[in-house]
Chain A
Amino acid sequence: AIQLTQSPSSLSASVGDRVTITCRASQGISSALAWHQQKPGKGPNLLIYDASSLQSGVPSRFSGSGSGTDFTLTISSLQPEDFATYYCQQFNSYPLTFGPGTKVDIK
């Protein structure tokens, strides 16, 4: 199975900050990566698919990049509603796997 690691595991940031989260795959997955946002007590919400495609309805301050084994999710200007946990997900091969998550909280 393809393993995903994320860094950092948590971070503290202020409203307006630029935030970058990294996801690394244990083997190459081309661009078969998605990013999901999860708020406490809620189901996840898709932000990015195919590594860099913005899901419809998601604010443009979210962006994704990368291919192969290294990927990033960037929030250009952190907003109060962005404090949440972020998960990467690979869909290059079964079994589908998720990263361990990055929790973004308020500094």
Chain B
Amino acid sequence: QVHLQESGPGLVKPSETLSLTCTVSGYSISGGYYWGWIRQPPGKGLEWIGSISHSGTTYYNPSLKSRVTISLDTSKKQFSLKLSSVTAADTAVYYCARASPTDWFDSWGQGTLVTVSS
């Protein structure tokens, strides 16, 4: 059974870059699935940030595209998120998830809270 675990700093200063990593176990990250990042501001709903295919093709939410980079490291069984120029509006629980090739998310990490504050 696939397991995903987010890791990274829980506090980021405004204007800096948020960096998170998702470690995948129980499934080959090079398999046919996609890998995504979704976030949830406190008390609010879910927002898709972007996804990366097993071959490295990326898909980003246009609302965040200018600030987002998602990458894949198959040797470490990880994929990563970088979000630049963060503000308080980027404070959220960040989830990594596995997506089918048609993009429904079938396995989720437990999430990690990232707070943007000086």
Contacts and interface: CB of A to CB of B under 8 A. Distances in A.
Interface of A: 1, 32, 34, 36, 42-46, 49-50, 55, 87, 89, 91, 94-101
Contacts of B106: 46, 49, 55
Contacts of A101: 45-46
A94 B63 CA distance: 12
Contact of B46 (A1, A42, A98): A98
Contacts of B100: 49
A95 B110 contact: no
A93 to B, nearest CB: 9
Interface of B: 36, 38, 45-48, 51, 59-63, 95, 97, 99-100, 102-111
A98 B104 contact: no
Given A34-B105, A44-B108, A87 B63 contact: no
18 contacts: A34-B104, A36-B105, A42-B111, A43-B97, A43-B109, A43-B110, A43-B111, A44-B108, A46-B105, A49-B106, A55-B106, A91-B99, A91-B102, A94-B61, A95-B61, A96-B48, A96-B103, A98-B48
Contacts of A42: 110-111
A50 B48 CA distance: 18
A87 B46 contact: yes
Given A32-B102, A87-B45, A100-B45, A95 B63 contact: yes
Contacts of B108: 43-46
A45 B97 CA distance: 10
A46 B104 contact: yes
A89 to B, nearest CB: 7
A3 B98 CA distance: 22
Nearest to A48: B104
A98 B45 contact: yes
Nearest to B63: A95
A69 to B, nearest CB: 18
Contacts of B38: 98
Contacts of B104: 34, 46, 49-50, 89, 91
